[in-house]
Structure 1
Amino acid sequence: MTQALDDLFDAARKAQASAYAPYSRFRVGAAIRAGSGRIHAGCNVENAAYPVGTCAEAGAIAAMLLAGDRTIAEILVFGDEPELCTPCGACRQRLREFGAGTLTVHVAGPKGPRARFTLAELLPHAFGPDNLS
């Protein structure tokens, strides 16, 4: 791993440790590298009323915006399960709002990065801000 990817991995792993998932026990952490180079992390937060929970990617995007950054250069999503923990459909759309189709999405587990995709691979023919200009 490169140092830049190590930094994303460490931030996502630490965020995952803070996840609040008492119902599903499916804890996820995410770390974004913004266009500025700064890293912003988030974790999933469940709620007894399931539909109102928050994904880790959404938390990381909120942290990024709060810090004043507006573009995503890359993201790493960290989960514990044997299957790849890729962003859900809603989070793919959230990522598209702040990143282009070339945005790199790393998927990791406890032993390190497991796969890499572009956002265009995960969300082909995406609807985004440019569709509304």
Structure 2
Amino acid sequence: MTDELTSLFDAARAAQARAHAPYSRFRVGAALRTASGAVHAGCNVENAAYPLGACAEAAALAAMVMAGDRNPTDIVVIGDGEALCTPCGGCRQRLREFASDELRIHVAGPEGIRRTFTLGELLPHSFGPDNLA
């Protein structure tokens, strides 16, 4: 892993440690880097009324927007277990709001990066802001 990817992985792992997942016990962390070089992280926050929870990717995007930043270039999403912890469909669309098909999505487990996708691979033929121009 490059130093930049290692620092992004470390930020996602630190966010995962703060996740509020008392129901699923499936803690997720996400950290994204923007074109400006800034890193914004988030964790999943569950709620007893399940549909009201928030995904880690959505939390990282909210932190990015709150900081006045835009244009993510890379995101690391980390979850435990054997299966790849890719962003859900809703988060793929949330990422598309701010990123192009070239956004690199690095899927990780506790041991490190497991696989890298582009947003275009995970959300082909997407509908985004440019469709409304």
Query: Please, what TM-score do these two structures have when normalized by structure 1?
Result: 0.99
| Residues 1:77 and 2:77 aligned together | yes
Find the counterpart in structure 2 of residue 47 from structure 1.
47
Measured after TM superposition, the shift of residue 112 of structure 1 is: 0.3
Give a deviation string over 1:73-106, Cα, whole Å, max 9, x none. Answer: 1100000111000000000000000000011000
**Residue equivalent to 1:7:** 7
Q: Which amino acid aligns with 1:49?
A: A
Spell out structure 1 runs of 4+ moving beyond 4 A.
none
* Corresponding residue number in structure 1 for 2:61: 61
Gap runs ≥5 in structure 1? none
Offset of residue 125 of structure 1: 0.2
**Which residue of structure 2 lines up, in the alignment, with residue 129 of structure 1?**
129
Q: How many residues align?
A: 133
Match of 1:92 in 2: 92
Counterpart of 2:20, as a letter, is: Y
CA distance in 2, matches of 1:46, 1:77: 17
1:114 CA drift (Å): 0.2
Aligned CA-pair RMSD: 0.4
1:41-82 CA-to-partner distances (Å, cap 9, x unmatched) read: 000000000000000000000000111101111100000111
Q: Indicate the SS of the match to 1:16.
A: helix
| Whole-angstrom CA distance in 1 between matches of 2:34 and 2:48 | 32
Q: TM-score if structure 2 supplies the norm length?
A: 0.99
- Give 1:40 deviation, angstroms: 0.3
The whole-number CA distance in structure 2 between the counterparts of 1:6 and 1:103 is 17
* Aligned-partner SS, 1:21: coil
Which consecutive unaligned segments of at least 5 residues does structure 2 have? none
Identity across the alignment (%) = 69
> Secondary structure of 1:42's match?
strand
